[in-house]
Structure 1
Amino acid sequence: MLKPVTVENALNMTNRLFIDVRSPSEFAEATIPGAINIPILDDYERAKVGTVYRKDSKEDATTVGLDFVASKLTGIYERIKYYSDIYDSIIIFCWRGGMRSKSVCNFLNMMSISNTYQLAGGYKAYRKHVVDFIDHSIEKYKFIMIHGLTGVGKTHILELLHQYGQPVLDLERLAQNSGSVFGDIVFEGSPPTQKNFEAFIFDNLSKLCNNYVFVESESKRIGGVHVPESLYTRMLSGAHVLIETSLQNRVDIILSDYVNQLAHKNEKIIAAIQNLNKRLGNDVVADLVHRVKAKEYTYVIEYLIEYYYDPLYKYSIEKYRPYDLTIEYENIEEVVPKLEHFVTYI
């Protein structure tokens, strides 16, 4: 018997797994965080079925689809059976709770896998849930935005806050981009699509128990994605904290983030520096590239801080004055207790 479940109820289930039975390209474009892809049709097969549906009939398209699926049934059963023994609930979904997820659920029920559910409305219903949350539920959160010049360790502070059990929204991590000209060097893998980025934001915020959350100061665009307007507006209306530290600390943090663990990515670092020709001039860029090749990283970082980053971001730092709190540290571990104390007064 088919067991439909709403998005809200599915998200509240414990020890559950979402299985996306759409094609690989649909899965890559947008899915539910944590879902795995067990497609019943690959991209070619899905396109072929769609063509038959448009040119011939629904019945002919169904026949073509069944021919494609028949040889996969054993593999689909074995994979889902494996997960059904691990998870209490398996939630199957397609685009809008149609034939693909329904047929898989019926097949699994026939094979006596009883802890499977069909997501009512499919991914389309989940997407609407995400958009509604971001548009209307974001107002319940008080954002504490952490500002500071490049290298002060804003991301590290968010990581420390998270370790201490404080609520954090790390947008750079979710976007797989650390901002700046070197934004894609730190992270591995492909950055998310806009829909997946928004799903990550929803997934992060909806799990918080607090009504406040720490976030790093960001522009509206982070790499290839943008912060939703309602979220960005709410961030700006929150509390603003300025972090300051010595130049040496800033250099050390950047060395740790970009070089000490990433020396094998010299070519990516060089390519990023070469994008600065218009701002710094060909001669300066050529010299910086030479120094990267010679592993003179400290010189390169200090130069970029003084002549590129600080002048570039000075305006964005100044426009939020006066800050609700300014923290100047020597040891970054000093920052978290001060922020924890601060939130008791907001």
Structure 2
Amino acid sequence: MSRTVDFKDLSGDYILVDVRTVGEYEEATINGAVNIPLFTDEERALVGTIYTRKSTDEAKKIGVDIVSKKLPEIYAKIHELEKEYKDVVIFCARGGMRSASITELLCALGMRVKRISGGYKGYRAFINETLPKLNEEVTYVVLHGNTGVGKTEILKALKADGYNVLDLEGCANHRGSILGSVGLGSCLTQKQFESNIYEELKSAKGKKYVFVEAESRRIGRVLIPDYIHQRMKDGIHVFVDAPLDFRSNLIINEYTKAEECNAEICEALRGLTKYIGEKNIEEYCKRVEAGDYVDVVKELMVKYYDPMYMHSSDKYDYALSLMINSVEEGSEALKSFADKLEAENEEINEETKSEDINEIIEE
């Protein structure tokens, strides 16, 4: 039985095990993988230093000494996974020493384990090859609209009802604005961002239309790949609007879920100093800290966000414009719009098939 497998050939009931360090795993991993590290970050650095400055043999010796002490714990964790899954698939950075050695050892002990050829690097090559192809198969329905109209919430409602959605902000763990990280923690890395996009587009495979929110190319610290951003520009564009009170309430509910968010909000607001002025920012922060959010949110939308957004969005011809008073109202209108698009697409496909058949008969 082969003990290596390409990521693209994985199927069935399996669990991925990332044996890289916690630091490597947290930076980016294959979606769904659990982390059972052979080394800590410090141990990996030590082995690497010995490998570079002394010798391969000495590095291996140190590595074996470190891992041998952890083998009972590693064995126990893999054994528990074997009870739940048919296959346990291991990977490290490049499919080399770490995953190869632990796979061979566990197989010798009778365990059902395989390893990914090429490791995480091989997986990244797969993503770089496959993601552009998935992107070419879809037409994006792009939602535009001022801050707070509920675009993200509408996407979530559409996804819950079975419609195809690419939530770029969710993939990045960042809302895309200067306040985008408030209450969310750190933005994800570029590699993890692209892996998350792959997972969302993979689930839409075979479907033509995918809803997505209009974004500038940068979301937090990640960049939307050029080929996706261009495909979004070439998509079908929809404008969503809502009353100011609705928008301000939605923003307040989203950004003030925890008291500690006030400090994050103020820190982020100071990034707007050159646009709004230091005096105004300090006044806003005082109000935020006092829990007086409504006027702050409305002023920021009217004086800063709305003018900035309208300047960037006025270059599109919208196939549909909506004025909504609830997220449900917006999602229902867009579901009807999507159903109409799909019906029209099916008609075009049937006409194309008929034309092809007629051409064959005539020949």
Q: Normalising by structure 1, what TM-score?
A: 0.93
Q: How far is 1:2 from its partner? A: 5.1
Q: How far, CA to CA, are the matches of 1:18 and 1:123 in structure 2?
A: 11
Q: Which residue of 1 aligns with 2:348?
A: none
2:291 counterpart residue number: 295
Q: Which residue does 2:31 correspond to in 1? A: 33
Q: What's the counterpart of residue 321 of structure 2?
A: 326
Compare 36-45 and 116-125 and name the one that shifted more: 36-45
> Which one of 294, 310, 316 corresponds to residue 312 of structure 2?
316
Moved over 3 A (4+): none
1:329 counterpart letter in structure 2: I
Aligned with 2:61 (options 60, 63, 67):
63
**Matched residue, 1:22:** 20
How far apart are the structure 2 equivalents of 1:228 and 1:284?
36
Distance of 1:156 and 1:149 partners within structure 2 = 14
Distance 1:100 1:198 in 2: 25
- Whether contact under 8 Å (2:88, 2:114) holds in the other structure is yes
For 2:8, the equivalent position in structure 1 comes to: 8
The question of whether the paired residues in 2 share the 8 Å contact of 1:96 and 1:125 is answered with yes
In the alignment, the residues of structure 1 paired with residue 40 and residue 213 of structure 2 have an alpha-carbon distance, to the nearest angstrom, of 39
Q: How does 1:165-314 map to 2 (within 5 A)?
A: 165-187=162-184, 189-209=185-205, 210-259=207-256, 261-314=257-310
Check conservation: 2:147, 2:305, Cα contact below 8 A.
Answer: yes
Tell whether the 8 Å contact from 2:134 to 2:202 is kept in structure 1 after alignment.
no
What's the offset of the Cα at 1:81? 0.7
Task: Note the alpha carbon deviations across 1:106-125, whole angstroms, 9 max, x for none.
Answer: 111122212x1111111111
Q: Which runs of structure 2 are paired with 1:82-161 in the superposition (5 Å)?
A: 82-114=80-112, 116-161=113-158
CA distance in 2 between counterparts of 1:339 and 1:238 reads 15
SS, match of residue 64 in structure 1: helix
The match for 2:45 is 47
The amino acid across from 1:339 in the alignment is L
Maintained 8 Å contact 1:178/1:186: no
Q: 1:214 to 1:186 in 2, by over 3 A?
A: farther
Deviations 1:33-52 (A, max 9, x none): 11111111222222222233
Over the matched positions of the two proteins, sequence identity in percent amounts to 38
The RMSD of aligned alpha carbons is 1.6
SS at 1:276's partner residue?
helix
TM-score with structure 2 setting the length:
0.89
Q: Which residue of 1 aligns with 2:334?
A: 339
Note if contact 1:2-1:105 (Cα within 8 Å) is conserved in structure 2: no
The answer on whether the counterparts of 2:183 and 2:261 sit within 8 Å (CA) in structure 1 is: no
Aligned length: 340
**For residues 95 and 118 of structure 1, what CA distance do their matches in structure 2 show?**
11
Question: Can you give the 5+ residue segments of structure 2 that lack an aligned partner in the other structure?
Answer: 346-363
Structure 2 CA distance, aligned partners of 1:128 and 1:93?
A: 14
Q: C-alpha displacement at 1:19, in angstroms?
A: 0.6
Quick one: distance in 1 between partners of 2:126 and 2:59? 31
**SS class of match (1:327):** strand
Q: Deviations over 1:139-190 (max 9, x none)?
A: 1011111000011000010011011111111111111111212111141x43
- Quote the offset at 1:58 in angstroms: 2.5
Counterpart contact for 1:101–1:118, Cα < 8 Å:
yes
Structure 1 window deviating more from structure 2 (191-200 vs 146-155): it is 191-200
Where 1:301 maps in the other structure, the secondary structure is helix
Equivalent in the alignment of 2:351 = none
Partner Cα distance (2:96, 2:90) in 1 = 11
Superposed displacement of residue 302, structure 1: 0.8
Can you give the 5+ residue segments of structure 1 that lack an aligned partner in the other structure?
none
